[in-house]
Amino acid sequence: MTDHAHAPDPTPAPLPRPRVKMKPKSNARALRHGFPWVYANELVTDRRTRNLAPGSLAVLEDEAGRALGLVAMNTASKIIARMLDRDPDAQIDHAWFVARLSQAQALRAQLYDAPAYRLVHAEADGLPGVIIDRFGDTCVVQPNAAWAEVHLELLTNALAEVTGCQVILKNASGRTRALDGLDDQSAVLKGSAPTAPVPVVMNGATYMADLTGGQKTGLFYDQRDNQAFAARLVAPGARVLDVFSHVGGFGLAMLAAGAGHATCVDGSAPALELAQAGADASGFADRFAARQGDAFDVLTALGEEGAQFDVVICDPPAFAPSKQALEAGLRAYERVAKLAAPLVRPGGYLGLCSCSHAADLTRFRNASARGIGKGGRRAQLLHTGSAGADHPQLPQLAESGYLKSVFFRLD
């Protein structure tokens, strides 16, 4: 007769997690104080550590063997470990994702009337390397770190539960994924991909977001507050210029505020078609013009034409995406300011933006001021802006505060 009381448990105990150790004199204190990354040169990388698959979970220890938390590993990346949880025994399961996403959702619901915002801003929302933008009942996910790719099904199911979104798309574009050794294959994770651009209302204008073929997730929510400030500079009937306009971010916001005419300049014909569609949907078609071309060439040509505008905004791509590109990037920002300043009528306004985290605010502001001076103009600095509150910053991680905007009044 079998003694069932002593029958073996059919579910084996989970294997202990691998443990990885910081090198002596590495900055474990920064990790304790909230810094979320461990660089490859800070970790002891023996053969066992090197054999951990990208996205594996491990317990991070300081040099004395004290646990610092649970990290996601990727030995192929300069960021070899990303802090997921201060609790080294945390279970990265459905409930864990639901808790993180619910906290992020609650913040945005407090801030915005409509579900159109950045829902998850990576490390600042406790999901390292993960970007999620929400467009009504559709979410676009950028899993830019190996651990997020490994846990994508869990993330998707939790996201659907927390938001109720019927459509979840994966966007795999962007250089960040390549840095983590990931592919560029986008996918539909839930539901069916929209077959037409999705309208998004911000600052009184309707924007058209291409969620499958557009840049990044389809729309840049980070400039919402800066576009609102630009709109405050518009007097009724003003002529405005939006350079590097993408889908018309600043131009449409200024038209909604009463500008008499807006010209949007971009190198991308599809982006300008979406800007035109946004102008049509907003009822601004008769006050809107698009001009396709290299922004530097168009700025030069407008200067030669003697064109004048009441407000000029330049929001270029990241000219300084890394420290190596910093000096060349600052020269490019200076050149933008030099070419744009003469296009502003006396007493008008110039807004300049940078999304380069390598160029801090002081350097960017100084480059902009130099350019304005070289353009023959004197300026008052009126306002300095950053990304909206749906792009929270992790105070310990400078990279999370990448967006800067400076607004000047020109004599």
Same domain, 147 and 225: no
181 found inside a domain: yes
In 139-205, which ranges are continuous DSSP H helix? 146-150, 152-163, 175-179
Asked if residue 153 and residue 78 are part of one domain, the reply reads no
Q: What is the CATH number of the domain that holds 34?
A: 2.30.130.10
* Alpha-carbon span 38 to 77, nearest angstrom: 10
Q: How far is CA 260 from CA 156, 254, 308, 372, 409, in A?
A: 44, 9, 14, 25, 20
Does the pLDDT of residue 12 top 60, yes or no? no
Q: Is residue 4 part of a domain?
A: no
Looking at the structure, tell me whether residues 186 and 206 fall in a common domain: no
Average pLDDT, the chain: 94
Q: Which of 211, 191, 189 lies closest to 199 in space, CA to CA?
A: 211
Q: What is the pLDDT of residues 173-232, one digit of tens each?
A: 878 898 889 999 999 999 999 999 999 999 999 999 999 987 777 899 999 999 999 999
Q: Specify if 2 maps to a domain.
A: no
For residues 16 and 72, what is the distance between their CA atoms, to the nearest angstrom? 15
Residue 378 has pLDDT above 50, yes or no: yes
- Ramachandran region, residue 25 (left: φ > 0; alpha: ψ -120 to 50; beta: rest): left
Residue 14: pLDDT over 70: no
Per-residue pLDDT tens for 343-375?
Answer: 999 999 999 999 998 999 999 999 999 999 999
Question: How much is the pLDDT for 9?
Answer: 53
**Given the structure tokens 């406790």, which residue do they identify?**
126
Q: Phi first, then psi: what are they for 46, rounded to 5°?
A: -80, 180
Residue 355 appears among annotated catalytic residues: yes
Show which of 153, 171, 190 is a domain's final residue.
Answer: 190
Contacts of 90 (CB under 8 A, 6+ apart): 70, 84, 96
| 165 and 224, same domain (yes or no) | no
Query: Same domain for 278 and 172?
Result: no
With beta carbons less than 8 A apart as the criterion, state whether 234 and 259 touch. Answer: yes
Whether residue 297 is predicted with pLDDT greater than 90 in this model: the reply is: yes
What's residue 6's pLDDT? Answer: 53
What percent of the chain lies above the pLDDT cut of 70?
A: 97
24 in any annotated domain:
yes
The CA-based angle 159-321-138, given to 5 degrees, is 20
Domain limits at 30? 19-85
Radius of gyration from C-alpha coordinates of the chain: 24
Judgement on whether residues 70 and 130 belong to the same structural domain of the protein: no
Report the Cα 157 to chain-centroid distance in Å: 23
Regarding whether 228 and 167 lie in a shared domain, the answer is no
With 50 as the cut, is the pLDDT of residue 166 above it?
Answer: yes
Alpha carbons 193 and 211: distance in angstroms, whole number: 8
Residue with structure tokens 């209302």? 201
Q: Which pLDDT score is estimated for 2?
A: 46
**Domains held by the chain: number:** 3
Alpha-carbon gap, residue 209 to 150, rounded angstroms:
28
* % of the chain beyond a pLDDT of 90: 90
Q: Pick the last residue of a domain from 190, 213, 242.
A: 190
**Rounded Cα–Cα distance for residues 273 and 313 (Å):** 19
Give pLDDT tens digits for 239-295.
999 999 999 999 999 999 999 999 999 999 999 999 999 999 999 999 999 999 999
Q: From its phi and psi, is residue 136 left (phi > 0), alpha (psi between -120 and 50) or beta? A: left
Model pLDDT, residue 115: 97
Dihedral sign computed on CA atoms, order 133, 322, 393, 40: positive
Q: Are residues 108 and 170 in the same domain?
A: yes
Residue 307, pLDDT above cutoff 50: yes
Q: Look at residues 168, 190, 212 and tell me which one is the last residue of a structural domain.
A: 190
| CATH number of 316's domain | 3.40.50.150
CATH at 152: 3.30.750.80
Q: Do 269 and 332 sit in the same domain of this protein?
A: yes
In terms of domains, do 41 and 146 share one? no
Spatial contact of 138 and 166, defined as CB atoms under 8 Å apart: yes
Bridge partners, 138 (sequence order): 135, 167
Per-residue confidence band for 380, with pLDDT thresholds at 50, 70 and 90: very high
pLDDT of residue 213: 84
